[in-house]
Structure 1
């Protein structure tokens, strides 16, 4: 029988770590200025524009994903959504992001993070990025990956962050990573491996060394290609 053992941060009712105040890199809500066949007398509100902005900058979604997420998931109850204007805003944000990419360093913090997750998977830890919307989702995704793994006996643990963690790090906060063991491994052992790989990649990580707290990657500049 395959099973993941509860590690840090699986319960939704009692999050293991409070989000400590940090100096946040605030971003401006994008404005639509370009005229087109769309009725530009209409404007998208700040909340909707903010959702488009961070989802685009997250780097995990394409245009069709974002149209579905914005119009059919987040704001599905609103009857005033102008899909043509949403489409225009998404295109504008993607264009802005492409221009910003030209100024990014050859190796970004997100490139380093990708290398960490690849290294963890090689070491027998199921490591997932943007795994669901909640910690329970991430745990379930990890369990699914374990069940589908070609050699489940080689898996010693799991590590993930979910979309709420992603939204925070895109907005300038630290990235929280949940982790835990499988089989006979120990939660602390998995935490130590994750911390080791993060530090090897040159990322700043904080952790109290227990399974009561998720690891936190500090000062991570989110630039995902």
Structure 2
């Protein structure tokens, strides 16, 4: 038995195949909805794999991208990786989803290869970071807010509208208000634009939004983060300047 797993387009992963089983599997590659195989060692190494692709009875190949599409895919992958919030597989899927499959398709396999290289580069970068980074401080501040009776959510859903409609569903008993930032806020922070914090009081709690804002700014300041807010409860709280060095999640 070979110490590998093989994932194809059309079926479940095959673990520890014999040489004969692997040969038979590769010979069938090229049929309808069965164009590629991805091989990983057992035990696996993060972001280390082999992929091959074939159409019909043609030669096996590693599918490529034109330079313009590849550059755009790499930038999309970097954006996802910089947030530090997504697994490598989630970043790869996000790269695929960003392209029109009828115009400039990027396969999952192509996206995985792009992400694998950039992931390793980011791991090398973060090895030079200090023990505690600004995102760690943000997490500490939100932990403190949760202990103070606020629904404190980080990187929650896609945008303000969706977050505001969902935040009450995360409300714990006794929470009088909320504070959150969403995916777009995280991406902006990762791009160097600071982090926007949104907050408010639940209507049935009688909590004043300005008071919630003061609690949020105090928690951020307590962990050493710079805060920009003029006390107006209709305005978001900005954490800036901010260096968004959030470590990548473990695993794939």
TM-score by length of 1: 0.76
- Change over 3 Å in CA distance of 1:63–1:215 after alignment to 2: same
2: CA distance, partners of 1:41 / 1:155: 50
Q: Within the alignment, does 1:89 sit opposite 2:86 as a pair? A: no
Aligned counterpart, 2:238: 216
Larger radius of gyration: 2
SS in 1 for 2:179: strand
Q: Within the alignment, does 1:202 sit opposite 2:227 as a pair? A: no
- Change over 3 Å in CA distance of 1:191–1:75 after alignment to 2: same
Calculate the aligned-residue CA RMSD, in Å.
1.8
How do 1:1-225 residues align onto structure 2 when only pairs under 5 Å count? 38-40=62-64, 42-43=66-67, 44-72=69-97, 74-83=98-107, 84-146=109-171, 149=172, 151=173, 154-182=174-202, 183-225=205-247
2: CA distance, partners of 1:116 / 1:123: 11
Whether contact under 8 Å (2:197, 2:237) holds in the other structure is yes
Aligned counterpart, 2:35: none
SS in 1 for 2:196: strand
Alignment length (residue pairs)? 184
1:78 CA drift (Å): 4.5
Q: For structure 1, which segment, 126-135 or 60-69, has the greater mean C-alpha deviation from structure 2 after superposition?
A: 60-69
**Larger RCO: Structure 1 or Structure 2 (Cα < 8 Å, ≥ 6 residues apart)?**
1
1:46 CA drift (Å): 3.5
Whether contact under 8 Å (1:131, 1:141) holds in the other structure is no
- Change over 3 Å in CA distance of 1:41–1:120 after alignment to 2: closer
2: CA distance, partners of 1:39 / 1:133: 32
1:212 CA drift (Å): 1.6
Unaligned runs of at least 5 residues, structure 2? 1-50, 52-60, 248-252
Whether contact under 8 Å (2:93, 2:111) holds in the other structure is no
1:217 CA drift (Å): 0.1
2: CA distance, partners of 1:56 / 1:198: 25
SS in 1 for 2:199: strand
